[in-house]
Amino acid sequence: MAGPQLPPQTKLVKPKTKRGKRALEKREPKLVEDTKKALLLHGGKVSQVVQDALGSINKLKQGECVRYTRRNDDARPFEAGGEARLEHFARKSDCSLFALANHSKKRPHNIVLGRFYNHQLLDMLEFGIEQHKSIAAFRAAASAVQVGNKPCMAFAGDGFTQVPELKLAKSLLIDFFRGQQVASVNLKGFKHVILVATLDRRLHLRQYAISLKRSGTKVPRVELEEMGPRLELSLRRVQAAAPDVESLAMKQPKTSKKKEKNVSTDLLEGKVARVYVPQQNLDTIALRKTKGSKRERRSSKLEEVAAAAAGVERPAKQARSS
């Protein structure tokens, strides 16, 4: 009789091919994480409003998301055991974020945004879509988001700093739309602005296309034109991360690079360093033996051997005078 099978999350996956080995190496932890991918999927029942909203998120995350269009009746993250389906797709697609769309009489036009840690559900927020206008409905849709462009994100409202649920919403939206983490950005790389305002536990999300015009000075004149999508969201259910899991997810690894002391850079000489040498005692230091002293010791050794063979006792060496 075979033993009990391990659950999927504790199985040790061994690659069978070199391609599989490279794929597993890409999923290993890194000091600088890759761009977070989003999992977009449908629940048991969806409406046209949530389908259009999910399509708008897909355009904003183009190249950084995986979308499933089939129904998933067992994907109910706020119920016990309902997160298993989401975690299965997260492991399969290697996604760190998810957006689940569903529709019911009790919660119409519903969308759930959340995050994974180690392919396990970390935290999530449930929103009701009160109004949606897609990108295609705006004139500035011709300058739609291009792959690799980073958005300029702005949050307006005191709730993002005072209300815990809205603080979580701000962190979640930043993870969703910030794209790849870089040290610096070219000004021409900013093509659109994402503005999120809050009022009475409602989020108003707008996106504007940026156009740089001539101003007669070095600083260009910036003009904004709404390009969609336009979303009006009402906050519903909230599930925050457990404190111990949250601290583990936010832990930063220590880098092995040590700080160099007494090192500076010079425009002419480049890298300049100061070396400290302790005081040395020449009487006890081990100096290098010269070639002449080695020849002298070799000749005295030969004389001793010859005298011993002849039976002549050599006089003892006199002490060196002080």
DSSP letter, residue 237: E
Q: How many CB atoms lie within 10 A of CB 86?
A: 26
How many whole angstroms separate alpha carbon 180 and alpha carbon 257? 24
Q: What is the pLDDT of residue 312?
A: 57
How many whole angstroms separate alpha carbon 30 and alpha carbon 10? 21
Domain boundaries, given as residue ranges, for the chain: 35-249
Q: What is the pLDDT of residue 171?
A: 93
Q: What is the pLDDT of residue 98?
A: 94
Q: What is the pLDDT of residue 237?
A: 93
For residue 242, give Cα distances in angstroms to 154, 248, 276: 28, 10, 51
Residue spans of alpha helices (H) in the chain: 18-26, 48-60, 84-93, 159-162, 164-177, 243-249, 291-310
Residues 24/30/36/38 CA torsion (nearest 10 deg): 30
Q: What is the pLDDT of residue 147?
A: 62
Report whether 153 contacts 178 (CB < 8 A).
yes
| Predicted TM-score (pTM) above 0.85 | no
Tokens 């919403």 correspond to what residue?
169
Find, among 59, 60, 292, 296, the residue nearest to 173 by Cα. Answer: 60
| pLDDT string in tens for the chain (322-residue length) | 444 444 445 567 788 899 988 888 887 777 777 788 899 999 989 999 999 999 989 888 888 889 998 999 999 999 988 899 999 999 888 899 999 999 999 999 999 999 999 889 999 999 999 999 988 888 765 555 566 677 889 999 999 999 999 999 999 999 998 877 777 777 777 788 999 999 888 999 999 988 888 888 888 888 888 888 899 999 999 999 999 988 888 887 776 667 778 888 887 778 888 888 888 887 777 777 666 556 666 677 777 877 777 765 555 555 454 4
Q: What is the pLDDT of residue 146?
A: 63
Which contacts qualify for 247-255: CB closer than 8 Å, 24 or more apart? Answer: 248/117, 249/117, 249/122, 253/29, 253/31, 255/31
Tokens of 299: 């000749």
Question: Checking DSSP bridges between strand 202-213 and strand 263-266, what pairing results, if any?
Answer: unpaired
Q: What is the pLDDT of residue 196?
A: 94
What is the CA 122 to chain-centroid distance, rounded?
16
* Domain 35-249 -> CATH class: alpha beta
